[in-house]
Each structure stands twice: as structure tokens, then as C-alpha cells.
Structure 1
Amino acid sequence: LVGPPGVGKTHLARQITHDLAPQYADGACFVDLSAISDHGLVASAIVHELGLAEQGHSDAAAVLEAALRERQLLLVLDNVEQVAGIGPLLKKLLGKAPQLTLLLTSRSALRLALEHLVPVQPLALPSLTGLPELATLAQIDAMALLLERLKAANPAVELNAGNALALAAICVRVDGLPLALELVAAYGRLFTPQELLSEIAQQFLHMRRRGRDLPERHSSLTTALAWSYDQIPPPAQALFTRLSVFVGAWTVDGVVAVCDLDGIGRPAMVENLHILLEHSLIQQHTLGSASHCTMLAMMREYARERAQAGGEQASLHDRLVAYCVGLADTAERQLGYGVDEALWIARLDVEHDSFRTALQWSLTAGDPAQGLRLVGGLWRFWYLRGYLREGRRWMETFLSLDLADAAEPQARAYDGAAILAWRQGEYDQADVWCQRALAIYRDIHNTKGEAQVLGHLGLVSGESGSVERAAAYYEASLPLYRALDDRSGIVSVLHNLGNLYCQQNDNARATALYEECLEHYRALGSQSGEALVALGLGVIAREEGAAERSLTLLTRSLELARQLEDDWTSATALINLGDLAQDQHDLAGAQAHFQAALALFETIGDQQSIATVTERYAILALVQGQIDQAVGYFRQSLLLANGLGFQPGIASGLEGLAACVSSGQPLLTATLLGGAAALRAATGFPIVLAEQARYDRTLQIARQQAAAADWERAWGKGAALAVPRLVALALAARP
């Protein structure tokens, strides 16, 4: 059993000794080696625990071999890392006693051929993003131990709604390490849970517990870690302290690039990492075909304390920034080409905390120009992973700085910020930033940048209702990409044109473009492109009544998006799957899809899509006859769409509220529908084909209640009203 100090190896070994003893004819024996450092004394310690007598001048090892030869025994040796050179004795015992089973606990592997390593992991942790019920929370391993030890120190402690988050945060803060939890709990008589959380931040490593029955090595985390640190060679010690520059996970490439201050090269750096791993000072994880490493919070703090005196922090952080900039630049190109997207997104996810550290260092102590380059390289990642708020915050921060000789990085950052703003439904801001990026790219004669921004302006214009302007931008972008023979750029414009035709209900042209795009995306190996094309084709199939084909395509889109952890595409696929379920009268299924979509959109901050899902909730209530609930949802959707300037959403909200009052207020219905029709005509966004039947029913119900002349006057009145007046009228409507 291997693991870092305080992870609970001894406790687990004792429990195993107790539980498995009946399965061995001669039982089980637990031997504590924590007080022994001389391998020559190990045999005597085992002999003593077994109750054997050492005869005269006989060698203890010989006595042990003779006694174990015929025994079926589980022998548990605790803390073998204390004893250098113990390996030969263990190998000899196993050779002489065929029915002997050895279970060892150690902070480091012994490197024996017969050794099977079982890492002991910290205790399971609660999630801070959504705490479960108190009864469930109390059963989570880390919380259960913390509560048990807190009650031992202070019986008055009880888990309640007021302290649940603080106690859960303590568990997470100490990585669920049993020793750390016990050290924190020892202060439970002095501090409340909320105060304990603050206390950890100030003196985590130096908290002590006092007890005559406690081993000195476990009296504090500093004591426990110092012993492990002292056992590794100086080059590994140097690397251990330098790794504190990484806040989260890191890769071997990152370590070599950032921490090799001595120029010892990759092979030596890898060997030092291996030493740290063997001594349980770092942890290794595998994600797909790639691996990365992490360090427990207590390890990182101990390493940081040692590093602060070394005078290397500035150099390490500068190297981290340079590494992150290079990685982000490469990733931005690869994601732009659509090559190995899942691998690159997973890689950037691993490094995300390093990016944050690098950005903060660039802003406060390093070179801000490097930070500007970094945000310009990260925008695609932020976009694909839904980190819209965080990405915009960093971009706006660096764009607000007055940096000289940074034209190209500024243009990239403006362009990236515009896309994040567009995805959040802030079209005016997105247009401003796109125009700034376009001006810079044209000034520095960067044709590819110009082509990309023109395409992005098409996106912004299309969503804000300027269909002709959008088409013009796309038509201006396409020849620039063709001149550069940029296949990924060409397909991006063709895809956006397909979306534009789809919005115009020109399904034949949209389908032709989507299918052409699909060939390009497959040739490029772009899963995200394929996911988006499947989404578009699935929408068209639903509109054409091909429900089975639509389900296949939308499910494929959702599967690909989830593989990429692309929350936006996943959520959009879920909306359309909900629509399909509703078409087939599976209202519970539709509700579940809409709920899942809304949760994702709320996470990434896509306000436009939140308005769209809220409208779906309204329609779902309407078809179930829940008129008051439908009105509430339509109002929410309309308010949000109006605030965003989302023209199709405004029109749909007007039409939805018109449907809610159509049975009793035909002229108000006519006014709202007339205004919506005028808005659609002005912006170029027709009613979605799949919604046409519902619209026609509203029209029929209302028209048959009103005289033709009255209807026409009310319709004309709505068509003449300004959008703010129409919205106010709709929001005031009562069924």
C-alpha cells in the first residue's frame, strides 16, 4: 500500500489485518516498523510480534525463516519506508515460506520484482457546486471523518445548514487527507467551522495535534512532509519545490519547459519526476491516451514555502508564461483547423489552472504583452468549453492596457472577445470589437485575420437580424480564404452561409451547403464541425417531417459534442431533441431535454439561448393548457430577448403571448401578430417551418372571433408600432 503521508495507509493496513486474519490458517500479524531504521533489526521485530523466542546466539532471520516455512500467514509490515535495505530480507522470506503473504505500507515503492503497488487514495469529497441533503453529505467519507473527529474534540458540533458549506470546503481544501482532517478537527474546541476554514488558509501546514499516543511523525503536516522530502536526492528536491509554480495539473512537457532551470535535460527531469512519484509526493493521472500529474494541496504549500527562500519564483513564472503562450498559440491553430479537437481540448483543460496563473502573473508582475498574446490564443478554447464570462473578463482586462507594438495580439484578442460576446447575445459589443480587429488586420495587411473577422461579422450581423449584411460579410470573407487556400476558413464560411439559409427556411440550399461542409470537416478530422452539421441537418429533417432521421442526426450531434465537452453544441442539440419529443407528444421527455439544455446555457452564460429555452418551456405549458404558466415563461423570454436585441426572440415572444390571449382577445392577438410579422419582414427572419402549424392555429382561432375589417385595422396598428411599444403591450397582456 503506497501513498503520501497521512493518507491512511496504517489505518487501512490494521483493518485488513483484522478482517483477513480468519482467512489464513495461522492468522495475521501486524508489525509497526516506524521506530526502526536499521534493516538488521527488522527480523527481530517480527519475531517479537509473532511471540517467537530467539534461541541463544541464533540469527533472528534464521529463526524467522524456520518459523514461517510451514505457516499460512498474513504478515503486515507498516512504515517500511523507514528501513533502507529491507528488500533482501523480504525476498528471502517469500522464497523460504511459500504460504506467506506480505502486505507492506510505504510512502515509496521498494522496486522489488514481486511487488504489486496499490495506491491509497484520499477520502471521497463532497461537491461544492451543489451540496446534497445533510444526511447524504454526512455519509461522504471525508465529511464523515471530519464530523467524527470534530465531535471527539467538541461534542456540541452538529452538521447543519449554516455550517455545511464551510465543513465541505474544509474537506476539499485538505484534499480529503485523513491526517489533515484530524489535524484540523483538533482545533474544533477553539474555532467554529467557518473560523476553521479561515484558519486553514493561514496556518494549514503548521497545525498540530497533541496526544501522548500519537506518533511524532504525524504531529503536524510539516513534520510528516519533511521526512519524505529528506529521503529524495537534491535534484528531485529542487524539482519538487519548483513544481509549486503549477496550481493545478501539469504535463511532463510543461515541467521540462518551466522547471529545468539547471539545463539537465528531459531524461534527467523525467527521472526526477519518477522519483517524486515513487515517494508519493506527486500523483499521476491518465485521461484518454494522455497523462498528467498533480500535487496534493499540502504538498504544494510545503513546496511553496521551501521555494520562497530559493529566489527562483520570478524566473519560474516567466518561464510558465512563455510555455503557456506557446501552447495556446499552437492549440488555437489546431482548433481552428479542426484537427484532433478532443485531444487539444482535453490538453488545455489539464493546463487551465496554469493559464490562469500565467495570466495573473503577466498582469501583476510580468510582461502584460505576453498576457495579451495568451488571451488571444485561448479564445477558441474558452468558446468551445463555455468559459465565456471568464474569457471575456481576461480579454477586457488586457485590452484595457495601453500596450505599444502589440497590433496583431490586440486584433486577435478583440476578435476573440467579440465571439465570446456574440455567444452571450451582446451583438452591439461584438460588432464594436470585430470592427476594431478588422481595422487592425487591414492596417497590418494580415489577410487571414481579415478573412476571419469578416466571417465573424457575418455571424454577429445574422444573429442581430441584418441578414443581407451578414451575407455580404460572408461573401467578402470567402474569396480571401480561397486566395489563401485555407480549407478550414473556407468551410467555416460555407457552414455559416448554410446556417443563414436554414434560418431563411431555404432548406434545399442549406442542406447542399451542410453536406459539402461535412465532406470538408471529415477530411479535416473536425468533430466539432461534424457535430454542428449534424445539428443543422437534424433541424431540417424535423421541419420536413422526417422524425426518425432527425432523431438520428441530433443524437449524433449530441454524442460528438459530449465527447468534445462542447457544452453549447450539446445544449443546442438537447433543445432540438426536446422539440422532437414534443412533436411526438413525449412531454416528459421534452421537459427533461429542455431542463438539461437550460442548465448548460446558464453555466456558460449564453443569454440568447436561455431566452430560447425559456420560450420552449412556455410552448410546453401552452400545449398542456397551462395558460398562466405559459404567459409567465413567454414574458421572461420576451424580456430577455428584448434586452439583448435578439430580433427572432422578440418576434417569437410576441407570437407566443398572442397565442395565449387568442381565445378571448382576438384584436389584441391581431395587433401582436401584425407587429411580429412586420419585425420579421424587417429583419429577414421568417417563422421557423416547424412552428408554422402552431402559428396558423393561433391565427385561425383569433380571426374567427373578429370582423374582417376590425382584424385588418388591429393588424395594421401592430405593424406600425415601434418595437418597444409592442413589447410593452405584449408584457401587459392578460389571458
Structure 2
Amino acid sequence: MAGHRLDRTRGLPAERSSFVGRRAELADVRRLLSGSRLVTLVGPGGVGKTRLAVRAGTELRRSFTDGVTLADLTAVADPARVGEHVARALDVRDVSGRWLPATVAEVVGDRQVLLVLDNCEHLQDACAVLVDTLLATCPGLRVLATSRVPLDVDGEAVLWVPPLGVPSRDRPAAGTPSEAVALLVQRATAAVPGLVLGPVDDAALADVCRRLDGLPLAIELAAVRLRTLTPAELAGRLDDRFGLLRRSGTAVPERHRTLQATMEWSAELLTEADRVLWRRASVFAGDVSLAAAEAVCADDVLPAPAVLDALDRLVAASLLEAVPGPGGRRFRMLETVRAYGRELLDAAGEAHAVRLRHAGWCARLVAAASAEFVGPGQVAAFDRLDAVHAELGAALDVYLAGHAERGLVMAADLWLYWAARGHLGEGRRRLQDLLAACPEPSRTRARGMVAAGFLALAATDPAAAVPLLTGARELGEACGAPSVVATATQYLGQAALFDGDLAAADRLLREAAARHAAADGRYEAFCWADVGVAALLAGRDADAAEAFGRSLALAERGDPWTRSHALWGLGLVRLTTGEPDEATALERSALGLMREVDDRSGTALCIEALSWAAAARQAWERAARLGGAAEAVWRSIPADLPAPLTRRREECTTAARRALGDRRWGALHREGAALDRTGAVTLALDERPTPAVPQAGAGAGPLTARQQEVARLVAEGLTDRQIAARLVISPRTAESHVEQILARLGVRSRAEIAAWTAARAAG
């Protein structure tokens, strides 16, 4: 058409700062554009969609002989002007008076053009119509769009742009910094000439990036604050992130000048129902299920049937991310999105009511799980609570602030979970605070005291446990609570064991077993395991074997916690009677159940016993390694081996040191002590030595096909969350795979996994 042409010089803006990371996402853009003519980069505000699109367009210039052009729609408010704006970007002049999209389509024709259509979310329908028209008539055109919501055009490929990778809180990455930290350091040193950031700042920089969810916009805003704040000071002020993170300058789009403006832009695009769900869902501390959202967020304003549609729209708007979970899809909210939602909740005057509903939902969930603690559904109950652990703390905070008795009921219901899943310290603190807030005598207080006493014993602190248990027993008798009296009596028997008073322990534990049989027979089996321990320590091996056998018989269809402890005790009996092979088999069975339950104290006890059994077989090197591994597990709880058992440990250690020599024993013991809990259990359950790192060309090595796949992603620098997204698994499953890889390869860092992967590839 005469008078119309495409000017290849009107392309992409030059980058004003270095581009950090995003190798995987750039590869995904290239791959998707090779198979689809419309690719939309979707993600929350500030995640870096525009920078990614511009970089991808720059790298793809040679693939589009007629040019790569950017049409930025940020400032376009009227949907009717979208076509005009795109035409201007393509240098198409409206000189004919025809329908503008038709003119643009005629000018583009069959030319090979990539159109980068930036910031489409507020003009979704108009962009969809225009793109659909152009793609239908321009066979050489491809469109790379950025939006907080998909365009919903036939043939559209959607690429979710995640935040940048951040360092793991549990295992900070060694060597190369994460993408988020690299961006923060680069922008900070550019903004503050002469700024020097050293190793002393690493922890604070990592904390800043984690708390900002790896959002590039938030990180760039934070970098500017390092003109006046140290990294540690910056991290300490992030509770006020919306007031802290702002920048000036007319060249900066208004919605990116402050973090709050970015959130406000997102809120303006939502319906009222969506905003209601956003602010109410912000009370959740972690991922939320549909059922939980309906239970906590629905009312007359937002009826339960409307919650699903609102969730779907929040996912489409990139304010929630749908992630797979063991019980179905769950919905994840970035911490910055959550923080703004909580501001909306406070402004709406709903905070107290919604937080109480959330606490009530948690209390009901805990009560239902607690009813299964001494049955075959025990592990599943623990797993359900693990999935919402962050919510439990938030609920207890709400109850402590104004409904302490409800909180005490809930904290006491969690009694076995606190110990079984490694939350002893938290459980003790929670119960201490709630008991102080509920001083009046009651059944609830008696239950709270016995739970607190149990946790004190689990932490090998009998001095704190005895007064609590004695008080609980007296109060339970006064209030007519026979189950509390039976449980308090049982744990007073355990305290007597700790104190070495075996006669009192035997008397109290047998009394408790009788009381349990009369009040609630489900608890009798575990009490008989305690009777067995008392008999074992008193040297009455036959009585101990009988008590442990009785416990196993009563728990035949019961919970694995009880069976694991009975098997552990029976293994010690066999060790005492000179049967180390049978003892080893029993302890391995017990440890398998301990791992299933995730009983950390029990895990340490089993590994100790397996060390003693190895010494009895004169397998001195294994005894030394397992002794160190047991010490590492105790340290991770943290707790100590109960005093009545320390003599056995000392005897084993003395014999192993004598056989190996101090230097060799020390090296092996340190080797075991360096293992994490997963590695310690793997060592204890597998008689073979921990595999060394395979040499290049050694084949698949010790990893399964899935673990090899995860190892390759680790080598690419992906975080656990990014691996989970790539493989469509939960972050917890990804983390578990990485832990298993570390254990199987006998290495300690992700960098060593990457080295192993590279060696195999080179071979």
C-alpha cells in the first residue's frame, strides 16, 4: 500500500542497566515463540515482565528480518486508542480514514515482525481484539505480550514469570549468589558509588531478598535505600515496606515509583468481590486451599459459592499462584501482595473478625487431627498439621491477645504434634504464655499443664516437668478429669525414670496404665512401653520384654509412634541379652516408623541404639559414625540423650575409641556428626557405606531418574520453588528430592551437586 512502510530503526529501547539472571525464562520465550505466534508473559506487578520481554526481543532481532517493535500501553487509558498506539509503534500512519487495525494488517502483510505489546492488563479486551485481527491476516507476525492477566486469544501460549530465585533459609547457597541477591548487589553498587558489600552483609542481603519475594521492582527500590541504610538496617525496616520502598523521577512510570503504587494498580483492575477475597485471604500465613478460603473468607458480603470464581480471577490477575499440593490445588500469595492485602483488611475494618474466623478454622482442624494422634491415622494427622503450621502460630497469637482459653485448648490439642514434628521449643513457649493468661483452675488449665509437662520431658527437662505434672494431676482430680490424671501420672513415672528412681517409676507407670484402661484405652499401649523401659533399666529383662510385647499387642492396629517406641525398647532388651543382630533388626524397624512419624527424639534414640548394636558386633567404624550421627540429630532438636541411657553411650564410646584409636575414632565420629537428619537416617538404615561422588562416565550412579532430573535443575541454578514449578510438584517435594540427592551422593552443598552433574555430562 503506497505511503506505508515499516521502519526497522523504530525498535526496542536500549537497556539502561545490566540484565540479571532469567536464563531459563529466556529459553522458554524462545521455545514458545517457535511454536506459537502469541506468547504472553504473565506475572504480578514488578516481577520484571517488561525487562524480560525487551531482552528476549533484543536477542531475537536476527530471527525477524523486518524488525522487532515495542508498543508500550502503560499510558493508554482509552481502549479505543490501542490500535492507534500500536500503529504509531509500527510507524503506520493513518492517512486513509479506514479502520485502523485493517490498515496496520495491510502494512505488516507477510513481513517477519515481532511486536512486543507491553502492559496489556488494563486493556485486555481491546488488546485481544487487535491481536486476534493482526494474527489472522499477517502470517509473518508474532506477538510477545506482557500482562498481569492472559489475553485469552486462540493459540495464546502463556508463560508465568516467577520472581527471581532467593537463597534458601535452611541452606544458604555457597559460591554464586542467587539471582535476587545478584540484582540487589548490582543495583546498589550502581546507585551508591564506592559502596562495598562484603561477606558480613551476605545474611542481611539474603534476608532482604527473601522478604521481598525476589520481586525485581521491590529489590531495585530497596537498592536505592542502601545510600543511607546498611543492609542490616534495611532488613530491619521492611515491615514498613510500602513506606520505605519508593523512588522519584518523572522518567519512572507512576505505578512503579513506589511498591504501594504497583499494588494499587493491581487493585484497580479487580472487581469488588476480588478485592474482598484478596484482603481476607491475606490473613493466611501460607498457601491456602479452596476449602480454607471458603471457611474463613466467605460471609453475606462474599458468599461461599462466589469464592471459587474470585480465586480464579485473582490467579488470572497474577495476585495468587495456583500450585499443586497433596490434597489438591493450593493458592500462594507473595508476601508483598499479602502485606498490601492486610492494609486493605485493616482499612475495611474487618481485621479482627476475619482473624477470629481464621483462628476458629485452625482450632477445628487441630481438634480433628488430635483425635487421630493415637490411631492408625496418626501420620496423616501430623502431615495435615504440618501443611498449615504457619497458620497455627497466627491463630494462637490471635487467641492469646483476647481469647486465651480457646488458645490453651488448641495448644494442648497439639501436644503430640509439637514433639513429633520437631516444634518442642515453640510448643513450650506457646503453652507457657497461654497458661499464664489462664490462671483460674479448670479442666482446660489441667490439660494445658499436662501438655506442657510432657513437652518439658521430651526436651529432657524434668526439673520443669515435675511441677507442671504434679499440678496437673491435682487439678485433674479436683475437676473430675480422669484422662488428665492418668496422663499426668504416666509422665510423672517418666520423670522418675529420668531421675533414676526406678521403683517409683515402675509404680507410677503401672498405676497410669490401669487408669488409662479405665478412662481411655487408646493411651494404654504407650504407657506399657514406658513400663518396659523402667524394667529394662532395672535389669529385669524378662519383665521388660513382657511389657514391650504387651504394648505392641495393644498397638497392633494403633499408631506408629507407640509401635516404634515399643520396638526400640525391645531392641534394647535383645542387645542386653546378647543378641545384637536381632537388636539391629528391631531398631531398624523402629527407625523406619520413627521416620514415617518424623519423631526426631525417637530417631536419635534409634540411631544411638544402632551404634551400640554395631559396637556389640565389633563393627567399630560403623559404631563411631552412628554415634556422631546420633549426636547431630540430638543437636538439631535440640535435646540430649536421657540421663539413664548415658552410661550405655559411654561404654560404647570407650570400647570404640580403644579399638580404633583416638584419631581414627574422632575422624569417623565427626563424619557422622556432619550429617543432617536425613543423612543420619540413611546411614543408620543402610549397612553400605555412604556412596562417594561417582566419577565421570560412571553411568546413572546412585540417583533415580527423577533425582537425576532434579540434580540437572540444581546445576542450572534453580531454587527449590523454581524446580517445583518446572516439574509441577510441591516445593516441599522438591526440597525432599534435593535432601535425598545430598545424602545419596554424600555431599553437603548444591554446588557439589552441580559439580557431580557436570562431571557426568563431561563423561
* Coarse TM-score class (shorter-chain normalised): 0.7 to 0.9
When residues 441 and 352 of structure 1 are mapped into structure 2, their CA distance, relative to the original with a 3 A threshold, is same
8 A contact 1:441–1:449 mirrored in 2: yes
Q: Does 1:574 align with 2:607?
A: yes
Cα distance in 2 between the residues matched to 1:226 and 1:573:
55
8 A contact 2:69–2:116 mirrored in 1: yes
When residues 320 and 548 of structure 1 are mapped into structure 2, their CA distance, relative to the original with a 3 A threshold, is same
Q: Does 1:105 align with 2:146?
A: yes
Q: Does 1:229 align with 2:267?
A: yes
Other-structure match for 1:625? 661
> Which of the residues 461, 472, 482 maps onto 1:447?
482
Q: What SS is found at the alignment partner of 2:319?
A: coil
Q: Percent identity?
A: 28
Question: Could you tell me which amino acid in structure 2 is paired with residue 11 of structure 1?
Answer: R
Aligned-pair CA distance for 1:144: 0.8
8 A contact 2:273–2:302 mirrored in 1: no
Other-structure match for 2:682? none
Question: Could you tell me which amino acid in structure 1 is paired with residue 434 of structure 2?
Answer: F
- Point out where structure 2 has 5 or more consecutive residues left out of the alignment: 1-40, 670-763
Other-structure match for 1:495? 529
When residues 161 and 622 of structure 1 are mapped into structure 2, their CA distance, relative to the original with a 3 A threshold, is farther
Aligned CA-pair RMSD: 3.7
When residues 34 and 431 of structure 1 are mapped into structure 2, their CA distance, relative to the original with a 3 A threshold, is same
Instruction: Please list the CA deviations of residues 640-661 of structure 1 after superposition, one character each: whole Å capped at 9, or x if unmatched.
Output: xxxxxxxxxxxxxxxxxxxxxx
Other-structure match for 2:298? 260
Counting only pairs closer than 5 Å after superposition, residues 672-683 of structure 1 correspond to structure 2 as none
Q: What SS is found at the alignment partner of 2:42?
A: coil
Question: Could you tell me which amino acid in structure 1 is paired with residue 309 of structure 2?
Answer: E
Aligned-pair CA distance for 1:471: 2.6
Cα distance in 2 between the residues matched to 1:98 and 1:519:
75
Cα distance in 2 between the residues matched to 1:149 and 1:507:
69
Aligned-pair CA distance for 1:279: 1.7
Q: Does 1:481 align with 2:516?
A: yes
Other-structure match for 1:351? 388
Q: What SS is found at the alignment partner of 1:105?
A: strand
Cα distance in 1 between the residues matched to 2:228 and 2:466:
57
After superposing the two structures, state which structure 1 stretch, 93-102 or 168-177, moved more.
93-102
Counting only pairs closer than 5 Å after superposition, residues 72-87 of structure 1 correspond to structure 2 as 75-85=115-125, 86-87=127-128
8 A contact 1:79–1:104 mirrored in 2: yes
8 A contact 1:283–1:293 mirrored in 2: yes
Aligned-pair CA distance for 1:388: 1.6
Cα distance in 1 between the residues matched to 2:591 and 2:100:
67
8 A contact 2:624–2:665 mirrored in 1: no
Other-structure match for 2:281? 243
Other-structure match for 1:363? 400
Cα distance in 2 between the residues matched to 1:549 and 1:74:
71
Q: Which has the larger radius of gyration?
A: 1
Other-structure match for 1:126? 167
Q: Does 1:61 align with 2:116?
A: no
After superposing the two structures, state which structure 1 stretch, 245-254 or 352-361, moved more.
245-254
8 A contact 1:38–1:84 mirrored in 2: no
Cα distance in 2 between the residues matched to 1:20 and 1:229:
34
Question: Could you tell me which amino acid in structure 1 is paired with residue 47 of structure 2?
Answer: V
Other-structure match for 2:55? 15
Aligned-pair CA distance for 1:235: 2.1
Instruction: Please list the CA deviations of residues 191-246 of structure 1 after superposition, one character each: whole Å capped at 9, or x if unmatched.
Output: 22233223433454452123454322211111100010111111221222233333
Q: What SS is found at the alignment partner of 1:16?
A: helix
When residues 479 and 231 of structure 1 are mapped into structure 2, their CA distance, relative to the original with a 3 A threshold, is same
Question: Could you tell me which amino acid in structure 2 is paired with residue 424 of structure 1?
Answer: A
After superposing the two structures, state which structure 1 stretch, 325-334 or 62-71, moved more.
62-71
After superposing the two structures, state which structure 1 stretch, 510-519 or 176-185, moved more.
510-519
Aligned-pair CA distance for 1:112: 5.2
Q: Does 1:604 align with 2:604?
A: no
Cα distance in 1 between the residues matched to 2:624 and 2:268:
59
Q: Does 1:470 align with 2:539?
A: no
When residues 581 and 79 of structure 1 are mapped into structure 2, their CA distance, relative to the original with a 3 A threshold, is farther
Cα distance in 2 between the residues matched to 1:8 and 1:556:
51
Question: Could you tell me which amino acid in structure 2 is paired with residue 349 of structure 1?
Answer: D
Cα distance in 2 between the residues matched to 1:34 and 1:321:
41
Q: What SS is found at the alignment partner of 1:232?
A: coil
8 A contact 1:292–1:350 mirrored in 2: no
Other-structure match for 2:467? 432
Aligned-pair CA distance for 1:154: 1.3
Aligned-pair CA distance for 1:88: 4.1
Question: Could you tell me which amino acid in structure 2 is paired with residue 344 of structure 1?
Answer: A
Q: What SS is found at the alignment partner of 2:117?
A: strand
Other-structure match for 1:561? 594
Cα distance in 1 between the residues matched to 2:376 and 2:135:
53
Question: Could you tell me which amino acid in structure 2 is paired with residue 238 of structure 1?
Answer: V
Cα distance in 2 between the residues matched to 1:502 and 1:593:
23
Instruction: Please list the CA deviations of residues 251-283 of structure 1 after superposition, one character each: whole Å capped at 9, or x if unmatched.
Output: 444433333353644222333233223222233
8 A contact 2:587–2:610 mirrored in 1: yes
Cα distance in 1 between the residues matched to 2:140 and 2:372:
57
Cα distance in 2 between the residues matched to 1:5 and 1:46:
22
Cα distance in 2 between the residues matched to 1:122 and 1:314:
31
Cα distance in 1 between the residues matched to 2:577 and 2:649:
25
Other-structure match for 1:181? 219
Other-structure match for 1:391? 427
Q: What SS is found at the alignment partner of 1:104?
A: strand
Q: What SS is found at the alignment partner of 1:176?
A: coil
Question: Could you tell me which amino acid in structure 2 is paired with residue 373 of structure 1?
Answer: V
Aligned-pair CA distance for 1:429: 2.9
Instruction: Please list the CA deviations of residues 401-433 of structure 1 after superposition, one character each: whole Å capped at 9, or x if unmatched.
Output: 4544x5111111111111111112222432222
TM-score, normalized by length of structure 2?
Answer: 0.72
Aligned-pair CA distance for 1:171: 1.5
When residues 154 and 497 of structure 1 are mapped into structure 2, their CA distance, relative to the original with a 3 A threshold, is same
- Point out where structure 1 has 5 or more consecutive residues left out of the alignment: 634-735
Cα distance in 1 between the residues matched to 2:515 and 2:392:
33
Q: Does 1:328 align with 2:366?
A: yes
When residues 320 and 21 of structure 1 are mapped into structure 2, their CA distance, relative to the original with a 3 A threshold, is same
When residues 149 and 494 of structure 1 are mapped into structure 2, their CA distance, relative to the original with a 3 A threshold, is same
8 A contact 1:424–1:608 mirrored in 2: no
Cα distance in 1 between the residues matched to 2:240 and 2:77:
34
8 A contact 1:369–1:403 mirrored in 2: no
When residues 30 and 531 of structure 1 are mapped into structure 2, their CA distance, relative to the original with a 3 A threshold, is farther
> Which of the residues 307, 311, 316 maps onto 1:269?
307
8 A contact 1:601–1:609 mirrored in 2: no
Instruction: Please list the CA deviations of residues 340-391 of structure 1 after superposition, one character each: whole Å capped at 9, or x if unmatched.
Output: 3333323323433333233333333x12222222221222221112222222
Instruction: Please list the CA deviations of residues 606-665 of structure 1 after superposition, one character each: whole Å capped at 9, or x if unmatched.
Output: 1345995985766654543329999xx9xxxxxxxxxxxxxxxxxxxxxxxxxxxxxxxx
8 A contact 1:487–1:520 mirrored in 2: no
TM-score, normalized by length of structure 1?
Answer: 0.75
8 A contact 1:495–1:513 mirrored in 2: yes
Aligned-pair CA distance for 1:69: 7.3
Cα distance in 2 between the residues matched to 1:97 and 1:451:
81
When residues 627 and 66 of structure 1 are mapped into structure 2, their CA distance, relative to the original with a 3 A threshold, is closer
Cα distance in 2 between the residues matched to 1:565 and 1:338:
16
Other-structure match for 1:298? 336
Q: What SS is found at the alignment partner of 1:186?
A: helix
Aligned-pair CA distance for 1:543: 5.6
When residues 590 and 175 of structure 1 are mapped into structure 2, their CA distance, relative to the original with a 3 A threshold, is farther
Instruction: Please list the CA deviations of residues 557-616 of structure 1 after superposition, one character each: whole Å capped at 9, or x if unmatched.
Output: 444434443322233333334445556676665555444433432333313459959857
Cα distance in 1 between the residues matched to 2:505 and 2:637:
25
Q: Name whichever structure is richer in helix by fraction.
A: 1
